[in-house]
């Protein structure tokens, strides 16, 4: 099989756009449709597209497995940590109003952090699952 | 006028689906699914104008970006039988 | 007009579902599942559930096709034909026809459809859903939370516990996949001398990087055979 | 001016709908995959393009138009690439298009390792 230049060039152009769009979905989620879960999935889809065309090994150089696993765990940790922080600041668990002087700002920070946690976890989980499945597939070849 | 466009898109979707159901080879089905994705992008865009809320365009944008991935995954699978390989010979083969 | 679109999309959805059942090639089923996802995203859009449609778009079109294909790579795309299954059942003694499942399914479906007759109409403001907390969310979200998208404020703030549980579930799913596939790999490694597969070695190296050098010797692959030239 | 824009957008929408339906019809009616690809290309370029440009006229100078423009850009970017990949994979799988008997296939268009019926007949002679 000769090399597929068209495919690789196209993917090189479109992957950054997908990643950028994931960030847009993440941070625009307060105003329009979208949020952490969708953004995480889209980000992971970008990495997966890269892996599909450039191969698993190169994708794992760009986005190492341990990073994906670390993300999967640390997102949940961030989410729970926001809850703990609001406990320590005198509120109830996951009550973001105490995170800042103004309850509105507190809610903003809280939602931002929580959505970030969701995105990090979902992205890490999706990429981890893809890596595992793709690696298994290679064994059966 | 959006109504005409909507109906046309829905009819095109139906045709694409007939091809997906009939499709003698798997590649016909891939083609049908790819076309179905494009038609969904159009449907969402037109629906946004039809109902007077063009905010739905984010969704159309997402489909336009993501539709590509499924198609590529399927094709790669058929050409190489697995998803983890690089798409040329110099990679790992 | 919206009725027409709804009906057409629902009819197409039903046809796709039947098609998924009908085709015996699992690749074709995956393709049709992709169409199913597109259709349901369209329906969600018509029903104004843009956030749900967004999720469907991202997951259905992007990830699930890839993951289903990856699964097919592991299990193969052959499906056992119904004739074969009937034979395998009749071997046990009584010759059973697949009539009973159909009767059960039709009966259950009929009961469910009958149950929907008592439900309030779609979008009816008298729905129980719209009576209790939903009005509060809609009216108070503006000055309690202060962000324009009510879905996000419900998801992340009012129902923060639920979302945290969901995130944990997603994380648990990843842990489950890792455990299942790692266990399979481990069993393989006892029997075989070498992996013959650098990719998995790479993954093990990543594992070591993340969690230190203390690894179960059964899990760790053999030494990597020098630097590979690929990837560049 | 508003009426003029409306008329332009109607014409674009109508012709786009026409191309979408015709292309979809072609996807059903065409005999093999490569000709079907051609028909699907009509819906992807003309159909989607005209409909989206028609919607742009309705959207006016706003963010909506920018988004429509991006959608159109991505569609016109990704759909030829996936058509290319699809036709390539189909060729590699051994399915052959309707070659005419004496058709010249240039070397740049050949896929290494694939046997073309034209060569087979030439060698046979």
pLDDT tier at C226, thresholds 50, 70, 90: very low
Is D61 in the A-facing interface, judged by CB distances under 8 Å? no
- Does residue C21 have a pLDDT over 90? no
The Cα B27–Cα C25 span in angstroms is: 13
Write down the pLDDT at residue D110: 67
Among candidate residues D25, D83, D72, the one with its CA nearest the CA of residue D46: D72
User: Which two three-digit tokens encode residue B64?
Assistant: 């336009």
Query: Do C and D make contact, counting contact as 3+ CB pairs within 8 angstroms?
Result: no
The answer to whether the CB atoms of B56 and C50 lie below 8 A apart is yes
Residue with the larger pLDDT of the pair C62 and C213: C62
Residue A15: Cβ within 10 Å count:
21
Q: Concatenated DSSP letters for A57-122?
A: HHHHHHS-HHHHHHHHHHHHHHHHHHHHHHHHTTS-TT-GGGGSSSHHHHHHHHHHHHHHHHHHHH
* Nearest to A111, CA basis, from A45, A28, A54: A28
In chain C, what percentage of residues exceed pLDDT 90? 11
Task: Give per-residue pLDDT as tens, A101-128.
Answer: 888 888 888 888 899 999 999 999 999 9
How far A9 CA sits from the closest chain C CA (Å)? 15
Tokens, residue C121: 């109409």
D96 pLDDT above the threshold of 90: no
Which residue, among B46, A35, B41, has the nearest Cα to C55 in the 3D structure?
A35
Spatial contact of A130 and C67, defined as CB atoms under 8 Å apart? yes
Q: Which residues of C fall within a CB distance of 8 Å from B43?
A: 42, 45
**Cβ contact, residue pair A137, B84, below 8 Å:** yes
3-state SS of C8-37 is HHHHHHHHHHHHHHHCCCHHHHHHHHHHHH
Strands (E) located in B27-93: none
Contact D82 B54 (CB under 8 A): no
Q: What is the pLDDT of residue C203?
A: 42
Contact at 8 Å (CB) between C184 and A136? yes
The predicted-structure confidence for C23-81, as pLDDT tens digits, reads as follows 877 888 888 888 888 888 888 888 888 888 888 888 887 788 888 888 887 777 666 55
Q: Is D84 near chain A, with CB under 8 Å? A: yes
Q: What percent of chain C has pLDDT over 70?
A: 69
Give the dihedral sign, CA B1/B7/B10/B11: negative
Low-confidence stretches of chain B (pLDDT < 50) are 89-93
How is C176-221 classified by DSSP, letter by letter? HHHHHHHHHHHHHHHH-S----HHHHHHHHHHHHHH-S---TTTS-
Q: What is the pLDDT of residues D11-46, one digit of tens each?
A: 999 999 999 999 999 988 888 888 888 888 888 888
On chain D, the residues whose CB falls within 8 A of the CB of B51 are none
* CB-based contact A1 D92, cutoff 8 Å: yes
Cβ(D121)–Cβ(D99) below 8 Å? no
pLDDT value at D101 more than 70 = no
B72, D84 contact by CB (below 8 A): no
Residue A15 belongs to what H/E stretch? helix A5-27
| Per-residue confidence (pLDDT) for residue B78, from 0 to 100 | 74
Angstrom CA distances, D69 to B54, B57, C139, stand at: 13, 11, 35
Question: Is A1 in a helix, a strand, or coil?
Answer: coil
What confidence score (pLDDT) does residue C121 get?
75
Cβ contacts of B88 on chain A, cutoff 8 Å: 1-4, 8
Give the whole-angstrom CA distance, residue B62 versus residue B59: 5
Alpha helices in chain B (DSSP H): 2-22, 26-50, 57-80
Residues of C near B (CB-CB distance < 8 A)?
A: 1-2, 4-5, 8-9, 12, 15-16, 19, 25, 27-28, 30-32, 34-35, 38-39, 41-42, 45-46, 50, 53-54, 57-58, 61-62, 65-66, 69-70, 72-73, 198-199, 230-231
pLDDT at A53: 86
Touch between chain A and chain D: 3 or more Cβ pairs under 8 Å: yes
Beta bridge partners of B86: A54
For residue C172, the 8-state DSSP code is H
pLDDT at D17: 92
Instruction: List, as own/partner pairs, every contact residues A28-32 make where C-beta atoms lie below 8 angstroms and the sequence separation is at least 24, other chains included.
Output: A28/B58, A29/A115, A29/C149, A29/C152, A30/A108, A30/A111, A30/C147, A30/C148, A30/C149, A30/C152, A31/C147, A31/C148, A31/C149, A32/B55, A32/B58, A32/C149
> Tokens for A121?
């976890």
DSSP structure string for D49-117: HHHHHHHHHHH-SSHHHHHHHHHHHHHHHHHHHHHHHHHHHHHHTT------TT----GGGPPTTPPPH
* Contact yes or no for B72/A44 (Cβ under 8 A): no
Virtual torsion, Cα C161, C165, C168, C170, nearest 10 deg = -130
Q: How far apart are the first and last CA of chain A?
A: 17
Report how far apart the first and last C-alpha atoms of chain B are (Å, whole number). 54
Which of A1, A6, A17 has the CB atom closest to D81's CB atom? A6
Between residues 82 and 101 of chain C, which touch chain A (CB distance below 8 Å)? none
Q: Is residue C137 predicted with pLDDT exceeding 90?
A: no
Question: Which of C157, C170, C202 has the CB atom closest to A110's CB atom?
Answer: C157
**D90 CB within 8 Å of a chain B CB:** yes
3-state secondary structure of B86: strand
According to DSSP, residue A20 is labeled H
| pTM of the entire predicted model | 0.80
Hey, are the CB atoms on A141 and B82 less than 8 Å from each other?
Answer: yes
Which one-letter DSSP state was computed for residue C175?
Answer: H
User: Which range is least confidently modeled, A29-43, C13-27, C202-216, D65-79?
Assistant: C202-216
Structural contact between residues B41 and D75, judged by C-beta atoms closer than 8 angstroms: yes
∠ CA A141-C197-B74, rounded to 5° = 40
* D-interface mutation test, from A3, A7, A11, A15, most D Cβ less than 10 A away: A7
pLDDT tens-place string over residues C143-166: 777 777 788 888 888 888 888 999
Local confidence band at C93 (pLDDT 50, 70, 90 cut-offs): very low
C-alpha C103/C-alpha D70 separation (Å) is 51
Instruction: For residue A29, give both structure tokens.
Output: 């989620």
Task: Return d(Cα A98, Cα B62) in angstroms, integer.
Answer: 35
The answer to whether C38 touches C47, Cβ cutoff 8 Å, is no
The subunits that touch chain A, with at least 3 C-beta pairs less than 8 Å apart, are: B, C, D
Residues of A with CB under 8 A from a CB of B: 1-4, 7-8, 11, 14, 17-18, 21, 25, 28, 32-34, 42, 45, 48-49, 51-58, 133-135, 137-138, 140-141
CB contact under 8 A, B38 and D33: no
Model confidence at C96, pLDDT cuts 50, 70, 90, reads low
What is this model's ipTM?
Answer: 0.82
Confidence tier at C171 by pLDDT (50, 70, 90) = very high
> What's the mean per-residue pLDDT of chain A?
85
Determine which of B36, B58, B65, B75 to mutate to test the interface with C (most C C-beta atoms within 10 Å): B36
Q: Is the dihedral of CA C11, C13, C16, C21 positive or negative?
A: negative
Mutate one of C71, C137, C170 to test the A interface: name it (highest A CB count within 10 A). Answer: C170
**Rounded CA separation D82/B35 (Å):** 10
């Amino acid at each position: 099989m000769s090399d597929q230049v068209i495919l690789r060039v196209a993917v090189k152009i479109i992957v950054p756009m997908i990643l950028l769009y994931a960030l847009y979905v993440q941070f625009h989620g307060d105003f329009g449709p979208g949020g952490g879960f969708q953004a995480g999935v889209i980000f992971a889809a970008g990495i997966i597209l890269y892996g599909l065309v450039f191969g698993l090994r190169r994708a794992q150089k760009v986005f190492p497995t341990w990073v994906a696993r670390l993300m999967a765990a640390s997102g949940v940790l961030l989410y729970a940590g926001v809850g703990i922080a609001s406990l320590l600041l005198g509120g109830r668990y996951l009550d973001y109003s105490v995170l800042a002087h103004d309850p509105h700002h507190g809610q903003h920070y809280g939602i931002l952090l929580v959505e970030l946690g969701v995105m990090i976890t979902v992205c890490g989980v999706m990429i981890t699952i893809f890596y595992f499945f793709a690696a298994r597939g290679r064994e059966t070849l | 006028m959006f109504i005409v466009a909507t109906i046309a898109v829905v009819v095109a979707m139906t045709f694409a689906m007939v091809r997906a159901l009939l499709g003698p080879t798997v590649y016909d089905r891939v083609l049908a699914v790819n076309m179905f994705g494009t038609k969904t992008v159009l449907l969402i865009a037109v629906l946004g104008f039809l109902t007077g809320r063009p905010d739905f365009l984010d969704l159309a944008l997402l489909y336009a970006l993501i539709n590509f991935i499924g198609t590529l995954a399927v094709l790669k699978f058929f050409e190489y039988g697995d998803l983890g390989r690089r798409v040329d010979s110099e990679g790992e083969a | 007009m919206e009725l027409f679109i709804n009906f057409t999309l629902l009819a197409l959805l039903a046809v796709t579902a039947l098609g998924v059942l009908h085709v015996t090639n699992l690749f074709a089923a995956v393709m049709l599942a992709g169409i199913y996802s597109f259709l349901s995203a369209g329906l969600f859009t018509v029903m104004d559930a843009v956030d749900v449609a967004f999720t469907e778009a991202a997951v259905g079109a992007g990830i699930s096709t890839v993951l289903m294909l990856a699964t097919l790579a592991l299990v193969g795309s052959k499906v056992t034909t119904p004739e074969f299954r009937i034979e395998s059942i009749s071997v046990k003694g009584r010759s059973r026809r697949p009539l009973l499942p159909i009767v059960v399914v039709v009966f259950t479906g009929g009961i469910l459809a009958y149950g929907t007759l008592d439900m309030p109409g779609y979008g009816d403001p008298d729905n129980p859903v719209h009576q209790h907390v939903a009005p509060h969310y809609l009216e108070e979200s503006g000055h309690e939370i202060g962000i324009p998208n009510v879905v996000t404020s419900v998801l992340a703030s009012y129902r923060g516990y639920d979302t945290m549980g969901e995130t944990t579930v997603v994380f648990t799913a990843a842990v489950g996949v890792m455990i299942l596939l790692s266990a399979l790999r481990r069993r393989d490694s006892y029997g075989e001398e070498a992996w013959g597969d650098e990719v998995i070695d790479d993954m093990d190296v990543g594992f070591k990087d993340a969690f230190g050098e203390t690894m179960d010797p059964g899990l760790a692959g053999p030494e990597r055979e020098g630097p590979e030239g690929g990837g560049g | 001016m508003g009426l003029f824009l409306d008329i332009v957008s109607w014409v674009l929408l109508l012709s786009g709908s026409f191309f979408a339906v015709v292309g979809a019809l072609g996807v059903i009616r065409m005999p093999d995959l490569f000709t079907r690809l051609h028909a699907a290309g009509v819906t992807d370029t003309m159909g989607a393009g005209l409909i989206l440009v028609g919607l742009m006229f309705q959207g006016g100078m706003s963010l909506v138009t920018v988004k429509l423009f991006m959608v159109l850009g991505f569609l016109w970017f990704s759909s030829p690439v996936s058509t290319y990949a699809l036709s390539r994979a189909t060729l590699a799988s051994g399915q052959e298009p309707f070659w005419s008997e004496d058709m010249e296939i240039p070397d740049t268009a050949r896929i290494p390792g694939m046997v073309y019926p034209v060569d087979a007949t030439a060698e046979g002679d």
